C-alpha cells in the first residue's frame, strides 16, 4: 500500500492544484468559500500563492520523454492555465490599486457569455456557423 501511495502522490498534487485553479478562475458567488470565492483584499495573498504554485508546478512538469511540458506539443492547456492565472492576478492588482473594485468574480471574465451571445445570434440564422453580415444584422 505504501508503494502505491508514493506512486500516486504527484497525481494527487496535480489534481488538487488544478481543481483549485479551476475554482479560482470560475468564482461566481460573493459568499463562496476557499478558492471558489471572489478575489478580494482579504484572500488575495492566498489565491496569488496558489496561482504561483501552479506556475512553479507547470514549469517543472515533464512529459513521458523527459521534455518540459511547456516545450512539448501538449503545452497549450498548461500554458493557458498559467497565463490565465497571471492575468487574473495582474488585473486584480491593477483594479485594486486604483480602488475601482472591492472584489473580482472571475467567472465574469470567461468566454461563456460571448459563446452564449453568438449561439443566440446563430440560432436566428438557423444555426449557421458562418453568418453573413446581413444575417447578423437581422438577428441582432
Give yes or no: residues 9 and 27 share one domain.
Answer: yes
Report d(CA 115, CA 43) in Å as an integer. 30
- Indicate if the pLDDT at residue 128 is higher than 70: no
**The pLDDT of residue 139 is above 60:** yes
Tens digits of residue pLDDT in 30-50:
777 899 888 988 898 999 999
With cell 473594485, the residue in question is: 101
Q: Please tell me whether residues 66 and 116 are part of one structural domain.
A: no
Residues 24, 55, single domain; the answer is yes
Instruction: Report the C-alpha gap between 4 and 2 in whole angstroms.
Output: 5
59/97 same-domain check: yes
16 has a pLDDT exceeding 70: yes
Percent of the chain with pLDDT over 90: 26
pLDDT digits (tens, 9 = 90+) for 63-116: 888 888 888 888 888 888 899 999 999 989 888 877 778 888 888 888 888 888
pLDDT of residue 20: 93
Amino acid at each position: 500500500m505504501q508503494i502505491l501511495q508514493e506512486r500516486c502522490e504527484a497525481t494527487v498534487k496535480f489534481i488538487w492544484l488544478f481543481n483549485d485553479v479551476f475554482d479560482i478562475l470560475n468564482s461566481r458567488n460573493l459568499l463562496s468559500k476557499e478558492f471558489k470565492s471572489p478575489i478580494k483584499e482579504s484572500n488575495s495573498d492566498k489565491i496569488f500563492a496558489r496561482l504561483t504554485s501552479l506556475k512553479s508546478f507547470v514549469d517543472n512538469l515533464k512529459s513521458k520523454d523527459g521534455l518540459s511540458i511547456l516545450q512539448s506539443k501538449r503545452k497549450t492547456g498548461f500554458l493557458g492555465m498559467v497565463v490565465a492565472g497571471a492575468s487574473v492576478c495582474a488585473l486584480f492588482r491593477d483594479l485594486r490599486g486604483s480602488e475601482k473594485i472591492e472584489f473580482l468574480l472571475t467567472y465574469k471574465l470567461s468566454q461563456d457569455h460571448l459563446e452564449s451571445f453568438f449561439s443566440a445570434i446563430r440560432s436566428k440564422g438557423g444555426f449557421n456557423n458562418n453568418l453573413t453580415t446581413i444575417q447578423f444584422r437581422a438577428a441582432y
